[in-house]
């Protein structure tokens, strides 16, 4: 699926921002995995991400597109995210800030 920069940015803005990270650079997908804005389309990056069409039978418009870490996906049959990667917060208090974003296998 070939997308223009405006659409990619609009989908990026649908990802969850975090209070302790610059939301122009870092966000989380629906599974909670960290993604980096400049890593769109980079399948081998630990923070690479892609855009998934989540509404079967519907057009590929912005309301039907969502950002996902490159190893996560959306199961159209169940209507739920399929999470392989999540953010790693082991050893951090619930209110602690993240020094550097990191992911782990779900």
- In degrees rounded to 5, what are phi and psi of residue 64? -110, 10
Is 0.85 surpassed by the pTM of this model? yes
Query: How do the domains of the chain map onto residue ranges?
Result: 5-105
49-57: list long-range contacts, CB under 8 Å, 24+ apart.
49/15, 51/1, 51/3, 51/8, 51/11, 53/1, 54/79
Local confidence pLDDT in tens for the 106 residues of the chain: 689 999 999 999 999 999 889 999 999 999 999 999 999 999 999 999 999 999 999 999 999 999 999 999 999 999 999 999 999 988 888 888 888 899 999 9
Considering only CA atoms, which of 38, 95, 92 is closest in space to residue 104?
Answer: 92
CB 47 within 8 A of CB 36: yes
Residue-wise pLDDT tens digits, 31-49: 999 999 999 999 999 999 9
Nearest to 81, CA basis, from 103, 102, 46, 54: 54
Q: Is 39 helix (H, G, I), strand (E, B) or coil?
A: helix
């Amino acid at each position: 699926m070939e997308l223009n920069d405006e659409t990619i940015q609009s989908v990026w803005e649908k990802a969850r921002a975090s209070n302790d990270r610059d939301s122009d650079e870092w966000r989380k997908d629906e599974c909670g995995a960290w993604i980096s804005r400049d890593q769109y389309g980079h399948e081998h990056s630990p923070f690479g991400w892609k855009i998934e069409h989540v509404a079967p039978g519907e057009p590929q418009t912005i309301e039907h597109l969502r950002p996902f870490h490159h190893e996560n996906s959306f199961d159209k049959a169940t209507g739920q995210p399929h999470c392989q990667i999540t953010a790693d917060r082991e050893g951090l208090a619930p209110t602690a800030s993240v020094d550097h974003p990191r992911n782990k296998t779900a």
